Each structure stands twice: as structure tokens, then as C-alpha cells.
Chains A and B, each alone.
Chain A
């Protein structure tokens, strides 16, 4: 039976296949990245590797929240700042298709309720798309960021 790491962002529940998770950290020292978009909270150092940290709440289109835990993904070189991590759970009665977001692969029933299983590849594509949109901003916006 497949197992997943259960995450909480706002009032919504999400799951990550355990094989896609590399490590869970609690409030590590976060380094500020200059000129980065608001989606990028900063960067952390994991075993001598610099990994960008994304705000999962902003990613799903909600208000930015204080993330206590940071989940480092295995394949893609990135980390997600989430509200809480509820530990491991078994994925029972998995239903294909996303509920609201393109990066949700399927929906399953966890011990804490209905949760959407995150597809890391689709998530990485979405992030790249969002970041490229951000990069195509005009020069005056860049200078405005610098001034800010």
C-alpha cells in the first residue's frame, strides 16, 4: 500500500508520495534571495546544496502564511514551505484527477480528511511557468524591485 506525507496549507490538505520526499525540516535558517519574486521565500542549505524555498500558500493562490515546516522534494531541486506536516499516512481510495490545481494528480482519503496528491513534475512545470512570466516583466518593474 502506497504511503504519503500529509501536509496542511491553510485549511486544505495535500499529500506527497513518500518516495518524492527527501527530508522534512522545521524552521531552518532561511536566506533571503535578492530580486526574487514574492513566490520565492528564500534559499536553504541542505548538505552543501542550495535549494530554493517556495511559498506553498501563494502557489495555490491563497494568502501568504507563516510556514513552520519545509518539505524538501527528492527529484526536483526545490523545497515547499507549508503550515504543518501531519506525518505519514496510507493512501486509500485514490481518485484520479485534480480537484482545483493542475499540479494535483489525484485525490485520496487520509486520516485527517480528503487530500490532493501533489505531482512534483507538474508542480515544477507550473513553477517554471510562473517564474518565466515573472522574468518577462518590464525593466521599470525590476528597477522598482531594486528600489524596494
Chain B
């Protein structure tokens, strides 16, 4: 049964008053003290009973209020872990309703704080993750920036190299022009060589004819020397024969001298004749010896001359073959010079074609240079964009850090609420 606290206080007052009144009647009836002391005693008893009952009633009525006060203080301190229980609840009053309301407030606050705590921790985690991610994105953006810068530098280098290549191609065009010019000059020189070699071939033909005449003359001289040598040999044989005859004459004269000597005085005249014959034979033998020596010398000389003629003929033959080879060489020079002229002409035409091709290549390289310049500009733009992105990501990282700090602060603020058993963080 619900009794309002006002009624409870009224009931208590009535009870105190009734007890005082009762005492006022009971003390004289008991006759414990003299009469004159009865008034005093009853007053004193009435005071004591009134104080005691007042203290008991007020204690009993305000006990729940104290419990509620302490609960309210706990809640204000942030302790949401305990539920308010009223010890004396036989006659529920407004305090019981207040306790229920406090309990509902505590429950709602607990749920709210738990939700805030969970959400703030999640926010902190997310902020942390966002910060890390933004840092990673910043790092990636830095890398992208550096890569784009490298690409930009590479594009610049490429542009410079393309410029150099264009320069080289210009020089190459000039060189190829010079080659064409040199090839034309070589073709002219080859033509001149052909004419000169043809003239040389005619001179060689003339020389061949002259040399043939000289060789014929030398061969004729050799034949004449051979017949001369054979005649000299015949003369030698005749000289040998004469020498033999003179030797025999000498021997005959000697024998005649011997015969005349044996004849004594009768043979004296014959001895003189024989001695004269002997002297004649001796002188003719000596003359023949000289003639023989001369013939031998002549034979040696003719043999030497023949040998020299043979060597001359051999030399002439080798000279003829050398002149023949020279003629052939001139013919080969003519053919080679013609081939060289044709090739030089071909080189000239090829180098003209090469000049045209090199011009086309130079145009292509100019196009490449233009594209490379555009690439360099685009890479610079993308470098700037990536730098902007990097700055944005850095700002985002700062914001995520601020968010994290805010979530932590919220958690700190919320942490002073104690949620009791449901607290899981």
C-alpha cells in the first residue's frame, strides 16, 4: 500500500503527541514519585519519549532519502554500476518512485555511456587506421611524385638526346653528301684510269713488237755465234793436224840427223839440211802452239759469248713475258677501273637515296622530339597534381590525427563512468 511521506510524518506526529498525552496520564497513575514531582516527571518523560519517537520516525522516514542521496552522489560521481535498492520498503512512498526513476536514469545512462565508449573507441581506431592509411597514401603520393619527377627528368634527357640525335642526323646528312661527292669524283678518276690504262696497253703492244724484233736479232746472233764456234773448232782440228805433221817432221829430221851423223863426213851436208828442217819444224810447231792457244782462247770467248747470248735470250724471254704480263695487267686495270667506276656511280646514287632517307628520318625525329616535349609537359603537370594530392593527403592525415585525439578525449571523458559488470572495455 502506497503511503505518501507527508501522511507518514503526520502519523508519526500524532503518535508522539498521543504517547506524550498517555504519559501524562500514566505517570501520576503509577505514583512513582511524590505529587509535586509528578508534573516534572511526566514532562521529562514526555520529552524523552517525544525525542525518542521523533528520532525513530524521522530516522525511519528519511532512511530511503539518504539511500537515494548516496545513489544520486554515486551517479554524479559517474558510478553507474549499482542499482538503487530501498531497504525499508514496507510502505512504499515517493522515495520508491524516485529510486525507480534513478534506476531507469542509471540504466539509460549506462547504455548511452557504453555506446559512446564503443563508438569513440571505434572512431579512434578508424581515425588511427585513417591516419595510417593517409600516411601510406602520402608516402605513395610522394613516391608517385618522385617517379613522376624522374619521368619528367627522363623526358627532359630524352628531349636533349633527341636534340643531339637530330644534330647527328644533320651531320650524317652532310657526310653522306660528301660521300656522294667523293663517289662521283671516284667515278671520274676511274674513267681517267681507264683511258690511261688503255693508252698504257697500246704502249705495251708497241713495246712487245719492238722487243720481238730485238729477240729475233739476238737469236740470229746466237745462230751466227754457233756457226762461228763450229768453224773455230774445225780450225783447231786443222791446227792439231799441222802440229802433228810438224812433230813428225821434227822426228824425221832428228832421225835424218842421226843417219847423217853415222854417215860421217859424207853426210855432213845432209846433217846441215836435216838440222835446218828440224829448226823449221820446231818453229812451225811453236807457231802452231801459239795458233792453238789463240784458237783455244777464241773457243773460250765464243763459249762465253754463247753463254751470254743464252742469258740474254733468257732475259729477253722473261722480259717478253713481263711485258706480256704488263699488257694483261693493263687490261685487268682497265676492267677493274670500269668496275670501280660503275661501283662509284652506284655508291653515288645510293648515297643520294640515303640523303633522302636520312631527311625522312630527321623529320620523324623532329616529330619524336615534339612528342617528347609534350610528354615532359604532361609529366610536369602530373607531378604538380601528385604534389597537390600529397598535400591533401597530409592534411587528411592531420585531420585523422585530430579526430583520433577527439575520440581519445571523448573516451577519457566517458571513462569516468563506471558501468559495472557490462563494462567490457
Contact = CB atoms under 8 A, between A and B. Distances in A.
A5 B255 CA distance: 10
A34 interface: no
B278 A18 contact: no
Interface string B241-272: 00000011011001101100110000000000
A3 B275 CA distance: 13
Contacts of B248: 26
B274 to A, nearest CB: 9
Contact of A23 (B247, B258, B261): B258
Contact of A85 (B254, B261, B275): B254
Contact of A24 (B251, B262, B275): B251
Contact of B261 (A18, A25, A26, A87): A18
A21 interface: yes
Given A3-B261, A18-B261, A18-B262, A23 B278 contact: no
A31 interface: no
Given A26-B248, A26-B251, A21 B258 contact: yes
A19 B261 CA distance: 7
Contacts of B262: 18-19, 74
B56 to A, nearest CB: 199
B247, B248, B258, B261, most chain A CB atoms within 10 A: B258
A5 B278 contact: no
B248, B254, B257, most chain A CB atoms within 10 A: B254
Contact of B255 (A3, A19, A24): A24
Contacts of A88: 254, 257-258, 261, 275
A47 to B, nearest CB: 13
A3, A23, A85, A88, most chain B CB atoms within 10 A: A88
Give chain A's interface secondary structure class: strand
A5 B247 contact: no
Nearest to B275: A88
A120 to B, nearest CB: 14
A5 B251 CA distance: 12
A85 B262 CA distance: 19
A24 to B, nearest CB: 5
Contacts of A74: 262
B275 to A, nearest CB: 8
Contacts of A3: 261
Contacts of B258: 5, 18, 21-24, 88
Nearest to B251: A26
B261 A24 contact: no
Nearest to B258: A21
A111 to B, nearest CB: 13
Contact of B247 (A19, A21, A26): A26
Contacts of B261: 3, 18-19, 88
Interface string B261-296: 110000000000001001000000000000000000
A22, A25, A26, A87, most chain B CB atoms within 10 A: A87
Contacts of B247: 26
A19 B210 CA distance: 77
A22 B254 CA distance: 11
Contacts of A26: 247-248, 251
A18 B274 CA distance: 14
B253 to A, nearest CB: 9
Nearest to B274: A88
Contacts of A85: 254
A23 B255 CA distance: 6
Interface in A109-134: none
A88 B262 CA distance: 13
B95 to A, nearest CB: 189
B278 A87 contact: yes
A29 B251 CA distance: 16
Interface string A94-119: 00000000000000000000000000
A22 B278 CA distance: 18
A96 B247 CA distance: 34
Interface string B225-255: 0000000000000000000000110110011
Interface string A63-85: 00000000000100000000001
28 contacts: A3-B261, A5-B254, A5-B258, A18-B257, A18-B258, A18-B261, A18-B262, A19-B261, A19-B262, A21-B258, A22-B258, A23-B258, A24-B251, A24-B254, A24-B255, A24-B258, A25-B251, A26-B247, A26-B248, A26-B251, A74-B262, A85-B254, A87-B250, A87-B254, A88-B254, A88-B257, A88-B261, A88-B275
Given A19-B261, A24-B255, A88-B275, 18 more contacts: A3-B261, A5-B258, A18-B257, A18-B258, A18-B261, A21-B258, A22-B258, A23-B258, A24-B251, A26-B247, A26-B251, A74-B262, A87-B250, A87-B254, A87-B278, A88-B254, A88-B257, A88-B258
Nearest 5 CB-CB pairs, A to B? Answer: A18-B261, A21-B258, A24-B254, A26-B251, A23-B255
